[in-house]
Amino acid sequence: MKIAVPKEIKNHEYRVALTPTGVRELAERGHQVVVQSSAGNGSGFPDADYEAAGATIENDAEALWNNAELILKVKEPQQEEVARLSKGQTLFTYLHLAAEEGLTKSLMETGATCIAYETVTDKQGGLPLLAPMSRVAGRMAVQAGAHSLEKAQGGSGILLPGVPGVGPAKVTVIGGGVVGENAARMALGLGADVTVLDKSLPRLEALDHRYQGRLRTVYSTTDAMEKAVRESDLIIGAVLIPGAAAPKLITREQLSDMHPGSVLVDVAIDQGGCFETSKPTTHDEPTYIIDEVVHYCVANMPGAVARTSTQALTNATIPFVAALANKGWQQALAEDEHFLPGLNVHAGQVTHPAVAEAFGLEGVDPRSLVG
């Protein structure tokens, strides 16, 4: 199969969809892998490494896209990339369509088959292709929050762990999943006072057992959320409804209850954000301030640590990429009930129920498309 790896063009996106090691895995199976020139530079992988692994280097982005059967990316296609997609091609990347009606309809118009990393599942009900970046984003959220608390960044001037004689910052993590646990783990490691809110009692019990009471676990209620808003120096939004838009958990009105200079870090921004005042930002201008509350809402946080992120992503995606290349998308999805939910758009039809519901579209059962 002809597999293309374009250079990412989203603002400050330094990741690449495949490492040279991943290229070698595909090339040794007889597939033709074409990598756009300098696509891996931001992750520390020069063209020569890809060539040594068996890839062909292509300078012309248009030619790379036009000649591909399977296109591997990291972030959702930008407008000029959507224009290059066509019927018969398969795109495999992060899409987060439930928060992007325009992108959803544009992809439908291309006629292409679009498979999303973030809606592929596993036997345990997890999201194996989202998890690596969720771990990175959760850990980065604490770094970003700690930096944003600095006075020069608009924050209140609180040091996350405090110092002897001065108490630590109060950190609340909303959501105890992969992002939330990694954020809590980092915040604990830095010495912060950490609370995790979640609606799953088994999840809270697991966190309590794992961290031996070093963090507080609180069942998420309206009262608990209001208390977090009043008392926290840093709130990290780490909620996820697979494939769907994130719920709004803190309203604009509640900002007035927060301490001046407190910080919101919205890791759910790819899915529309879990704070009412959230809007996507970039690594160029990562924060903005509303009602004296600093908002950090960078939509591609893991792109800032591109080498780690690219390696972690390829480790997770390569078995699925190999299945698509070896079998074609229909057979690969037909044979794997957990890969099948990754199909979001095919030939002008929406195939993921959460995406269809988000925009009032008529969804199609993906099982009817794979036989």
Tell me the catalytic residues: 96, 270
Could you identify the residue written with the tokens 């970039």?
Answer: 282
3-class secondary structure, 170:
strand
Query: What amino acid occupies position 25?
Result: E
The full DSSP string for 15-64 is: --S--HHHHHHHHTTT-EEEEETTTTGGGT--HHHHHHHTPEEES-HHHH
CA angle 313, 304, 319 (to 5 degrees): 5
Q: Which two tokens stand for residue 112?
A: 């292409």
For residue 218, what are its two tokens? 């609180």
Mark 338-357 as b/e (b = at least 16 C-beta within 10 Å).
bbbbbbbbbeebbbbebbbe
Indicate the burial class of 222 (C-beta count within 10 angstroms; 0-12, 13-18, 19 or more): exposed
C-alpha 79/C-alpha 100 separation (Å) is 12
